[in-house]
């Protein structure tokens, strides 16, 4: 099994600010995709759509306020279904540190490389949204290849 791993620091933010951006519809729509619905609390389900290509449905496995969020992909591309996405948060001075992992990829295929780059794009959108109030969620995100 393979994983995608990233780390960002959000300056002037608390882990509560990041947690809210990961668990509320308005927060998620501000940095990942504008087309999001569902329930971001533990036991809930979130639906993310990225026109025109489709989307992902996540089962919210765990939410620990200001500390962590964990999702399992239950609908989406075959490579994603069954994988888990974990956000671990900690405060380091003026920075909220986000440790991100997308675990359980069955194999390292080109789509995984693409998704790693896109996760980096969206993590920078999360950082920008919290630091400046303006993220770049889909459909305003950065296109990184012919797959978008």
pLDDT of 52 reads: 81
Q: CA 100, 69, 132, 52: dihedral to nearest 10 degrees?
A: 80
Average pLDDT value for the chain: 97
Q: Selecting from 1.10.10.1100, 3.30.530.20, 3.90.550.10, 3.40.1280.10, what CATH number does the domain 2-132 have? A: 3.30.530.20
- The pTM score is 0.96
Q: What is the pLDDT of residues 81-126, one digit of tens each?
A: 999 999 999 999 999 999 999 999 999 999 999 999 999 999 999 9
Say what the pLDDT of residue 81 is.
98
Coil/strand/helix, residue 148: coil
Q: What pLDDT sits at residue 97? A: 98
pLDDT tens digit sequence for 35-49: 999 999 999 999 999
């Amino acid at each position: 099994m393979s994983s995608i791993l990233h780390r960002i620091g959000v300056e002037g933010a608390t882990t509560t600010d990041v947690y809210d951006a990961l668990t509320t519809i308005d927060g998620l729509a501000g940095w990942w995709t504008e087309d999001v619905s569902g329930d971001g609390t533990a036991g809930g389900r979130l639906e993310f759509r990225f026109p025109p290509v489709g989307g992902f449905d996540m089962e919210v496995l765990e939410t620990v306020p200001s500390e962590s969020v964990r999702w399992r992909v239950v609908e989406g591309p075959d490579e994603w279904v069954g994988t888990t996405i974990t956000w671990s948060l900690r405060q380091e001075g003026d920075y909220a540190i986000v440790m991100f992992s997308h675990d359980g990829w069955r194999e390292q295929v080109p789509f995984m490389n693409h998704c790693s780059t896109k996760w980096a794009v969206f993590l920078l959108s999360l950082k920008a949204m919290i630091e400046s109030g303006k993220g770049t969620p889909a459909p305003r995100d950065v296109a990184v290849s012919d797959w978008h």
